[in-house]
Chains A and B, each alone.
Chain A
Amino acid sequence: MELYELTIHEMNELLKARKVSSVEAVQSCLARIEATDTRVNAFITITGDEALKAAAAADQQIAAGNIHSLTGVPLALKDIFVTKGIRTTCASKMLDNYIPPYDSTSWLKLKDCGAVMLGKLNQDEFAMGSSCENSAYGPTRNPWNSECIPGGSSGGSAAAVAAQQAIATLGTDTGGSIRQPASHCGCVGLKPTYGRVSRYGVIAYASSLDQVGPVTRDVTDAAIMLGTVAGHDPLDSTSVAMPVPDYTRSLLSDVKGMKIALPKEYFIDGLDPDVQKAMDAAIETYRKLGAEIVEITLPHTDYAVACYYLIATAEASSNLARYEGVRFGHRAAEAKNLLEMFMKSRAEGFGAEVKRRIMLGTYALSSGYYDAYYLKAQKVRTLIMQDFLKAFEGVDVILTPVAPTPAFKIGEKTSDPLQMYLSDIFTIPVNLAGTCGISVPAGISQSGLPIGLQLIGRPFGEETIIRAAYAFEQATEWQKQKAKL
């Protein structure tokens, strides 16, 4: 077995026992990246030299007897996390030459544990997309089938884990951007409750929806990663001052008596038959494990996608205003005056999807339309939130598919943005409600692509969904399936 195939907890055992070194682990991953990334294109920037140096330091730390679950473990970050001194592009031409002077809180926390960063991962530009095709650095390919998308926007994060290039990665989830690619790539993807993890240093797409989370090979690793990055950050006013539980203590295979709910709005006609089959099997598994399955209704589900695209684009139009070429990033050459410099820099720096969303958001916020669009969307958002809170009065976990279909072909939906927007139909409500969700492997389609299962928990109910996900993982073999590259 190669070192790059290990999980975090497996590698931690070997490092602790001094059977392998962090330098060997990093070398193994770097070799794997070199061997596979021309086909996958998961990385925008590879920081091999820095990684080896950090690994050597981690080895010294281990030798001194100071070892955390992540010490010496090779990880990679979505290129949306700013990293001091290391180019951070957000997959945009706008930030092609941008080197941040500070570190994001999430990365700092990992670094403080001695984790090693291999590089920065591909994504949809500014996290806008459901396929990882909207990158200035070309699309990432699904390691299970290179003709297919890995999902978006954290496609690089999921593909790197599935392609066994990094042991685990961090992504961000605004409307499903961790759970959906994790599902398409056969990984575990966790979107924590809004406010659970600091957003400081995460390049903002839609501030009220963005949340940081891990993409990993199994549920245990997700618990380790979440436990490391979660917690209050004085630099992020929206991060919540609640103690961080030890999530690894939730790793129990016991779900007896747990009430698992199926929202009828998520099991509609027209759901891909392979996905439907995987869901049926998963429900059966939970039944066998002793969980109680109940049906519920989340009546405002239909409005979630429209609501999301108003709120997210409105916030994005404002968040992306800072990219105008004055202080950093791309500046158009030969502008005749100030206004032209702003306009040309933005016209040249942003890709089509980003421009589309900025225009949508600008429109939704403009005077005369604010009440009809933005304000109305906020009201709908409250109703969606209430749907979930009401449901959680009677149940522990809500089970749904992650995506309506397995990964689709590259280019298949790029000409039809509205079709693309529906890829996140089952994940978006969780972001609007601000609660947590996890995606776990639950099947393989007839065409050989992974299918994920989504477990949604109440706000700050990460322990419960981790427990339910772990029980499922232990009872099935899906997590052991690997992409053959």
Chain B
Amino acid sequence: MKYQPVIGLEVHVQLKTNTKIFCGCSTQFGASPNSQTCPVCLGLPGALPVLNKKVVEYAIKAGLATNCAISPRSIFARKNYFYPDLPKGYQISQYELPICVGGHLDIDGEWGTKRIGITRIHMEEDAGKLVHSDIPGLGGGSGVDLNRACTPLLEIVSEPDIRTADEAVAYLKKLHQIVVYLGICDGNMEEGSFRCDANVSVMPVGSDKFGTRTETKNVNSFRFVKQAIEHEIERQIELIEDGGKVIQETRLFDPNTGETRSMRGKEEAHDYRYFPDPDLVPLVISNDWVEDTRLSLPELPEAKFARYQSDLGLTPYDAEVLTATRELAEYFESCLTAGAQPKMAANWAMGEVTRGLNDAGLSISDCPVTPLQLVELLQLIEKGTVSGKIAKTVFDELWQNGGTAAKIVEEKGLVQVSDTGEIEKIIDEIMAANMGQVEEYRGGKDKVFGFFVGQVMRASKGKANPAVVNELLVKKLKG
């Protein structure tokens, strides 16, 4: 029998606010345990939550960028369960009335363009974490670090519209790109700022009834998501083929084996006893707030991708590479603003600049060559002052020591020679010294032409204008 997988994703996005969702504590990553806590995030008796407005603003942004409707009234609920890293014994989340509903994203790939529905986006607080190790003073026991408790999260829940692991990854990458573009998430998957739970089930092809699903928790890289989903599809099909039954359970992905495994020994019935949190009043969002936020949104990758092709005449490939991150796109656009030709700026941004950053392990925000410096260099190429080849030398110099392109060209004497008299003189000398080759060429051996070009360029220290060299060489060699 043929099987059809059905996949839905729940993505947790940690928001890049300075303070936590319900108190004023810092959200900085990596501080010493429990140094960023207060009565509210510690869940001490008597403490009360107060909503961070920035979190709401970020949630509205995420909603607008994913084509959701923003609810004029939404409600925080308590999700009750016991765990030592959950200080209050409940997590404040949204349940029945979330802030964003009914959106979608279009993903492109070998399948063409496909629309993935977004059921909802809601705001919630994170829990703390347990530390199991030989911490001094703990006597070999476990410790609770509540620095992360109460940090703001968005949970973005997709419809079960995804059918393959590749679609899942395309959807995730798109979502990741959007939240990073919006500046609401640092996108750091290793630190868990962007992580995903994958709901996977399989059903016979042609069936309209979904199979029993499993939920694989907290997968934190695109590669792992692909592996986890593929493994889960395979496992479920094998199980059914062998006459078994998929049980609804929570599973973990093990990056070492590339497999998923059951997180809990037996099926566990959870009753979270959700109810509206009486400590927080209903969240009312005015239309003005939504519209102001809409105006503050940056141009999103999809729109940029389209514009780069239609307005700037770039190829789909170039447009995709340049819009991959907001920073690269901004670098590129700064070059245009400074007067560069789009295609040339694109080539350099994708070529020398990206290469240099990769080699140095830098991010584009730390690029030593500014758009202004680069554009000056590009203009020297356009004017014919330097060749493309020499320009790369100049670029390296800019990268290493700074300065301006014009100054480097002048100081190092790198100005391109287009003077026919000067070039002719060099050609004559080289022909005189290599009469054998001249004869060969004249005897019909065209390949020797390259030898002469090389000799002339070497003699001119690369400064001779290649176009002029070619033209004169042909004339002279043919006699």
Encode A218-256 as 1/0 by CB contact (under 8 A) with B. 000000000000000011111000000000000000000
Ranked nearest first, the 8 interchain pairs of A and B with the lowest CB-CB distance are A321-B89, A208-B278, A207-B278, A365-B273, A201-B46, A203-B45, A82-B46, A322-B43
User: How far, in whole Å, are A385 and B50 apart by their CA atoms in the complex?
Assistant: 26
A321-B144 contact in complex given A100-B46, A367-B271, C-beta closer than 8 Å: no
Contacts of B39 in A (CB 8 A): 100-102
Contacts of A234 in B (CB 8 A): 50
A interface residue count range (under 10 / 10 to 19 / 20 to 34 / 35 or more): 35 or more
Contacts of B275 in A (CB 8 A): 314, 318, 365, 370, 374
Indicate whether B279 reaches chain A with its CB closer than 8 angstroms. yes
Contacts of A90 in B (CB 8 A): 45
Contacts of B212 in A (CB 8 A): none
Within 8 A of B (CB), among A350-385: 362, 365-367, 370, 374
Within 8 A of B (CB), among A325-360: 326-328, 338, 342
Within 8 A of A (CB), among B210-244: none
SS of B interface (majority): loop
Q: How many A-B residue pairs have CB under 8 A?
A: 96
Chain B interface residues (CB < 8 Å from chain A) = 39, 42-51, 78, 80, 82, 84, 87-90, 144, 271, 273-275, 278-281
User: How far, in whole Å, are A394 and B280 apart by their CA atoms in the complex?
Assistant: 32
B89 with A238: CB separation less than 8 A: no
Contacts of B78 in A (CB 8 A): 318
Q: Which of A102, A200, A318, A322 contacts B87 (CB 8 A)?
A: A322
B45 with A88: CB separation less than 8 A: yes
A200 with B280: CB separation less than 8 A: no
Contacts of A322 in B (CB 8 A): 43, 45, 87-89
A200 with B46: CB separation less than 8 A: yes
Q: Which of A100, A237, A315, A366 contacts B48 (CB 8 A)?
A: A237
A200 with B48: CB separation less than 8 A: yes
Q: Which of B50, B89, B271 contacts A318 (CB 8 A)?
A: B89
- A385 CB to closest chain B CB, in angstroms? 15
User: How far, in whole Å, are A342 and B86 apart by their CA atoms in the complex?
Assistant: 13
User: How far, in whole Å, are A104 and B51 apart by their CA atoms in the complex?
Assistant: 19
Contacts of A366 in B (CB 8 A): 271, 273
User: How far, in whole Å, are A234 and B53 apart by their CA atoms in the complex?
Assistant: 13
User: How far, in whole Å, are A326 and B143 apart by their CA atoms in the complex?
Assistant: 10
B90 with A102: CB separation less than 8 A: no
Contacts of A200 in B (CB 8 A): 46-48
Chain A interface residues (CB < 8 Å from chain B) = 81-82, 88, 90, 95, 98, 100-102, 104, 199-204, 206-208, 234-238, 314-315, 317-318, 320-322, 324, 326-328, 338, 342, 362, 365-367, 370, 374
A321 with B44: CB separation less than 8 A: no
Given contacts A101-B39, A365-B80, A367-B273, 12 further A-B contacts (CB under 8 A): A82-B45, A100-B44, A102-B39, A102-B47, A200-B46, A200-B47, A237-B280, A318-B90, A321-B90, A365-B274, A370-B273, A370-B275
Contacts of A238 in B (CB 8 A): 48, 278-281
User: How far, in whole Å, are A98 and B42 apart by their CA atoms in the complex?
Assistant: 14
Q: List 19 A-B contacts (CB under 8 A).
A: A82-B45, A102-B39, A199-B48, A207-B279, A237-B51, A237-B280, A238-B48, A238-B280, A317-B273, A318-B78, A318-B89, A318-B90, A320-B89, A321-B82, A321-B89, A322-B43, A362-B273, A366-B271, A374-B275
User: How far, in whole Å, are A374 and B273 apart by their CA atoms in the complex?
Assistant: 11
Residue of B nearest to A361 (CB): B273
- A172 CB to closest chain B CB, in angstroms? 11
Residue of A nearest to B84 (CB): A326
- B263 CB to closest chain A CB, in angstroms? 16
Contacts of A98 in B (CB 8 A): 45
- B89 CB to closest chain A CB, in angstroms? 2
B87 with A203: CB separation less than 8 A: no
A101-B273 contact in complex given A321-B90, A365-B80, C-beta closer than 8 Å: no
B273 with A326: CB separation less than 8 A: no
